[in-house]
Amino acid sequence: MKIFPAIDIKEGKCTQLIGGKFGTERFLIDPFRVAEKFQQGGAERIHIIDLDAAKGIGNNLEVIKEIIKKIRVETEIGGGIRSIERAYELINAGAEKIIVGTKALQDPEFLVDLARKVGKEKIIVALDFKNKKVAIKGWEEVTDLDPIETGKNLQNYCDAFLVTCIEKEGRMEGVDYEYLKNLENLLDTFNSFWRNWLFKRYRKIKRNWNLCCCY
């Protein structure tokens, strides 16, 4: 199992959303200092999400590019990647992986095209869910999509899935372990990234060596 520290960015600042709800955010120290601390702490990769871009109200692209430039560890970048051009821009800036959600879920052909052009090994698909249904557009719109069935349909076009229990986001309450384990067992894609993981759960999930936890 690998553990990747996470940075969510809103208005240029590190941000923590409670329960995935905009308006509950807590603004923390600047993302450059956080990224440097994670690097100093031995992180192999840093997970970075652009919350403004995810919601469609701007972006933190230049901040993210500067973080990639300043640190020496891998990054995976998500939030508002809804065009081939933006995907290329982040990969060319040095991102090891890109995370796509809304566009890939609404338009699977986009994901097929993206995989063909940048390589499926560069792609993580977000299957963030609320009440067992996939949520999109910065978690503000809950669809009728089932995460497991959706994952089965998309797994040939990505390297991994990012799975967030949105209700648990920012609460430090752990995850819906049984549901996530069921989802992992039913998907062939060998990497699943779980967010909102609590350290006291380590003994329970450390056996699952194909998991990467973002915290």
Element (H, E) at 116: helix 108-118
Q: What backbone phi and psi angles, to 5 degrees, belong to 146?
A: -85, 130
162-200 burial code (b ≥16 CB/10 A, e <16): bbbbbebbbeeebbbeeebbebbeebebebbbbbbbbee
Number of domains within the chain: 1
Strand runs (DSSP E) across 28-89, as ranges?
45-50, 74-78
Identify the CATH number of the domain in which residue 183 sits.
3.20.20.70
CB 163 within 8 Å of CB 147: yes
Distance from C-alpha of 21 to C-alpha of 192, rounded to nearest angstrom:
24
Distance from C-alpha of 11 to C-alpha of 39, rounded to nearest angstrom:
23
In terms of residue numbers, what domain contains 29?
2-214
3-state secondary structure of 100: strand
Over residues 111-115, mean pLDDT:
98
β pairing state of 160-163 and 141-142: unpaired
Catalytic residue among 52, 113, 128, 159: 128
Catalytic residue among 8, 30, 113, 159: 8
Q: Looking up tokens 């040095």, which residue turns up?
A: 94
Is residue 57 scored above 60 in pLDDT?
Answer: yes
CB 62 within 8 Å of CB 68: no
Task: Encode pLDDT of 167-191 as tens digits.
Answer: 655 555 555 666 666 666 656 553 5
Task: Encode pLDDT of 126-139 as tens digits.
Answer: 988 888 899 998 77
**Per-residue tokens: 139:** 């978690």
As a whole-number percent, the residues of the chain with pLDDT over 90 amount to 53
Q: Looking up tokens 């056996």, which residue turns up?
A: 207
Confidence band of 116 (pLDDT split at 50, 70, 90): very high
The pLDDT assigned to 180 comes to 65
Most confident range (mean pLDDT) of 26-40, 156-170, 181-195 is 26-40
Query: pTM (2 decimals)?
Result: 0.82
Q: Is 8 a catalytic residue?
A: yes
More confident residue, 32 or 181: 32
The pLDDT assigned to 166 comes to 73
